[in-house]
Structure formats: C-alpha cells, structure tokens
Structure 1
Amino acid sequence: MLRTPADSQQTEWSDPAAHHARLGELPSEPAAIADALEEFVIHHAVARQIGFPVPAYAEDDRSLRRSALLLDTLLQRDARPLSIHRDLPDYLYVTCRDFALLAITALRAQGIPARLRAGFASYFAKGHWEDHYICEYRRDGQWAVLDAQLGRRARDGMRVPFDVANVPSSGWRSAPSVWRTVRTGEIDATTCGLTYADIKGEWWIASSVIRDAATLAGIECLPWDNWGPTIGFRETRSLTPEQAQDIDALAQALDPAPPDRHAAQAVLAQFPWAAPPQDAFGAV
C-alpha cells in the first residue's frame, strides 16, 4: 500500500473541518489560489495603508489559529461561494501566515504536499528582509515557494517580476537560511524584521528559526507565538553567545530543509529546547 505523503495531510491547524467541500470553490492552480484569496482576505497592515481601518469586529481575525475558524468567520460575514469577491467590510483581516495557511489547506485538500514556512522577503521594503510566512508546496518533485499574499492586484501594484508560485531565493529565504547568512556577514541583521513595527535584529531572526522548526514539523504557529528561549529573546531583544551557537546548530539542521514533516519532526526531537510545549497553543 502506498503511503500518503505526510505534508499532504491536514494538521489540526489546517483542517477545514466542516468546510472541506467548500474548498472546491477555489481554483486548483497555486497562483490562482493567491488571486482567489485576494478577493476575501487582506493583511491588516495593508488595510490601514490603503486607508481602511480594521473594523472592530475583525480585530481578532489575525489571532485565529485554524483554517476552520478563519473560514467560519468569513462565511458568517458573507456565505456566498469562495470564488466571489467580497466588499471590504466582509473580508478577513489577517497576516501573511493566514494567507499561507489557507493556501496550504486548499492544496492539501487536493492531495498536494504543502507546508508553512517562516522566513523573510526582500520585495516589500527596499533594502530590507521583511518577516514573511509563505506556503511551500511540491512542484515537479521539488519544494517551491508560493506567496499566497501576492494576488493579481498586489502583483500589479508592486510590479512583481517573478512567478508568485515559484518565488526565487532572491525574493524569499527561510529563517534558517537568513540566520546562516547573517552569521557569515552576507546579510545585515538590522535589515531583517518588521519595518512597520520597528522590530529587527538577530534576536528576531533566531525566534523565527525556532518558529520555522515548528512549522516544518506541522505545528503551524502564529508569527508572535513564543516559547522556550524565544520568551527571553523577546524580553531582552538579544541572545547570548551560547544561545547563538544553539541557533547555529538548529539552522544548519534546517537549511536545507528536511524533505517532509516526519523528517522535520525527527530534527525537532534532536533539539527539545526548540519544541513548543504540547499545550502551548489554544483552540482559537
């Protein structure tokens, strides 16, 4: 009997639950999924940039951990098919992680291996590597990067020069890759973080490496989740030389990335200090 690839199986976070059938309303091609998501999902910071404040009732959208809850919320606001454009008041107001998670849910529903990755993109702010979650999926036997936040309007507005369903390494790099290039001096740590929140530096990249270890293992955390050493990183905005060496070892084990979820879980087991506690995340 052939085994189903681990990364084509839904996790407790990506499982659409009662909305599985409705995923058939979305297109099947990865880039087209990004176009479809743009019709009912918006980044909360982008909404503010275009002069549309996040409605009070939508402030908690970006804290919804599960695709099922994201879809619940969306369909309560507008129950029409997912192929139909919504008005902005009926959108979901989320983060890049949620765009990626919904794309992962849609791809896994088709049997396509897909996984969440934490990393940094060079195309949002010139001269900066912006903290950015993407969907990685199997394409022609290899992992390819889909930026599900770059629908047609976003691509046109930003004049994106690449295929958003196959983002090159010059555009997006995983957190372990960025950490390793920072340590060799190829990338300046002060150019990596969240420019709009004035968050940057090695401590943030180190936290992202730990979050990427979790996402690769199928623990699809939120961008601000903290556990273990990341709690100290957040409090001091620094890490000790010994902690940096620990991140060196973890990043080396994750770059290049493990081939699948099971291999990533085995890597995380080798670094128990980086694994989130079983009760780290609630139901929302």
Structure 2
Amino acid sequence: MNKAELLQYYTKFTPYTDPGEYGYLFHELPRGLPELCHLIKCQLIHPSMIKKVRHSLTHFTKNEDEKFYQVTEMLEALVERNADGITFDRLPSERLLISCRFHSLLLISMLRSQGIPVRCRVGFASYLSENHRKYIDHWICEVWDDTEKRWIRVDPDLELIDIQGDEFLMAGDAWLMARDKEINPQLFGVKKSWGMHYIRNNLCYDLNAILGNELRYWDYPPLCQKEMDELDWEELQLLDEIALYLQDPDENHDQLQALFLEHDFLHFKG
C-alpha cells in the first residue's frame, strides 16, 4: 500500500482498540498529546506504582492486566468505578491498575477516534532502568506528526513525547544488534527474565502490533513457546528477515503482512 493508504490504515480501530459502545467517552477529549497522556494517567496506574499509592486503594489493590484484553473492557470498568467519564482526575481507587500495553492501547483508541494515525510498538526502554544500564521491556506508541511528516514515539505511561535515540530500542533493532554481537542480549528483559528469548518474543509482538494484532504479553505465538536453542536455522533466518523489514515498517508493510500470513507459528492461537 502507498503512504496515504498506510496512514489511513492506522486510523482504523482494531478489535483491541475499538471503544465500541463507550465511544461517547471520547467526545470531549483534548487534542494535544501531552494533554491526552496526562489524562490517561488520571485513569490508569502502572502496577509498578501500586506500593506508592496502596494507602489510597480500596477494592482493587493488585495488577489487573489479566482482567482486560480490549479497550472496551477497560472503558467499561472505568465507568463502573465512576460513571462521570474519563476527562477528570480520578481517585486512585477508581483507576485501573494496568501496565504499559494498556496505556498504549488507550492512547491509540483516543487518537484514532480523532482520525490521527497511530500504532503500537514493542521494544525496550533504557530510561526505565537505573542509570540507563539495561533495556526494560516496554510498549509505546508511534503517532504520525502531519506537520513534520514523520512518526514520533510517545510513551503515555511516562508522559514522554517524541522519544529520541536509543532511549527506546525497537525489538527489531535489539534483535539485529544482539545477533551481530553488538550488544549483550542479557541486558534486555524485565525482573528475573533476561536474554535473547525476550528479544525474540518482543520481535514477534511488534510484528503483530504493526499488523493490528496488539497481543497481551503472555499471548505467545508458537514460535515464542520454543527455547532459543530449539530454533532451527530457517526460523532464525525468518526472525532476521522480520527484524530487517521492521527497520522501515511503512515501506515493508506488505512484506511483513505476507510473512505473517505464510507462517502460522507467528500467530497467537488463543
């Protein structure tokens, strides 16, 4: 597809980002990225922050990621906790305790409701680690800036706009760097899970996200259910090819789609 068709593609809701019957909640949203990101933080709390706000929580005190898959489910829960909408600063007890994927999906849903091209990207953020020494698993958004004619990286969880350089490494970049021994794969992951398998998993998630399948981070495609030493040469070459195409997902969108359709083991079968 050409550039105009591609941008139009990224204004369309996916099953995961469609607000459904709760689309009315978006009618009075602000239009600026800083304002939208701030508003999202008035609705959501990342589970890593629970300890800091636990004294303000009541019924919901643990990570709620497993309760939700789609934006419709998130909006339904927000309305159940306070029906006054999503354009105000909720009490902590009225917010959802969910991670970066869900922050990104909500921003995508909001922006697409305004006709703005946006997509989810999966990779690793150095700004989440102490002294930027490691790259932490993270999901962000790419938003099309029609003035500058480029994608800008936006982290709604940290309220960061136009992330630069290697502060956020796309999964494809991390894969190629690790395969070429330019960087230690043990620097990539989260908590007690680090290494090449984590980069591979995020590479498959990023491929899916580019194609409109914003999987949850425990929705492993069959290829990601293998140990790394169980991957054969052809599978490794395929992952290399995906990572190379993801260097320019606009130019290579059709090739990425073709590879995805050709190989069932890249699909999550829930």
State the TM-score, normalizing by the size of structure 1. Answer: 0.83
Report the secondary structure of 2:161's partner residue.
Answer: coil
Q: C-alpha deviations, 1:75-127, integer Å up to 9, x for none?
A: 10011231211111111110100000000000100111111111111101130
* Higher mean C-alpha deviation, range 91-100 or range 181-190: 181-190
* Higher mean C-alpha deviation, range 67-76 or range 24-33: 24-33
Q: C-alpha deviations, 1:200-251, integer Å up to 9, x for none?
A: 1001110111111111110111112112111123xxx655352433321221
1:21 Cα shift? 1.8
1:58 Cα shift? 6.1
1:264 Cα shift? 4.3
Tell me the distance in 2 between the aligned counterparts of 1:229 and 1:55. Answer: 40
Does the Cα contact within 8 Å between 1:218 and 1:261 map onto a contact in 2?
no
- Aligned counterpart, 1:147: 155
Does the Cα contact within 8 Å between 2:136 and 2:189 map onto a contact in 1?
yes
Q: C-alpha deviations, 1:33-67, integer Å up to 9, x for none?
A: 1111111201112213x252876646473121110
Do structure 1's residue 223 and structure 2's residue 217 form an aligned pair? yes
Do structure 1's residue 79 and structure 2's residue 83 form an aligned pair? yes
1:121 to 125, 145, 154: 125
Does the Cα contact within 8 Å between 1:25 and 1:82 map onto a contact in 2?
no
- Aligned counterpart, 1:191: 187
Tell me the distance in 2 between the aligned counterparts of 1:226 and 1:207. Answer: 8
Q: 1:263 to 1:247 in 2, by over 3 A?
A: closer
Q: Which runs of 5+ in 2 are unaligned?
A: none
Cα RMSD, aligned residues only: 2.3
1:166 to 162, 166, 182: 162
Tell me the distance in 2 between the aligned counterparts of 1:224 and 1:88. Answer: 26
1:261 Cα shift? 6.5
- Aligned counterpart, 1:200: 194
- Aligned counterpart, 2:265: 273
1:25 Cα shift? 3.1
- Aligned counterpart, 1:158: none
State the TM-score, normalizing by the size of structure 2. Answer: 0.87
- Aligned counterpart, 1:39: 42
Tell me the distance in 2 between the aligned counterparts of 1:106 and 1:150. Answer: 17
- Aligned counterpart, 2:28: 25
Q: 1:143 to 1:73 in 2, by over 3 A?
A: same
1:131 Cα shift? 0.4
1:182 to 178, 181, 188: 178
Q: How does 1:82-101 map to 2 (within 5 A)?
A: 82-101=86-105
Determine what percentage of the aligned residue pairs are the same residue. Answer: 23
- Aligned counterpart, 1:160: none
Tell me the distance in 2 between the aligned counterparts of 1:260 and 1:94. Answer: 32
Tell me the distance in 1 between the aligned counterparts of 2:264 and 2:157. Answer: 32
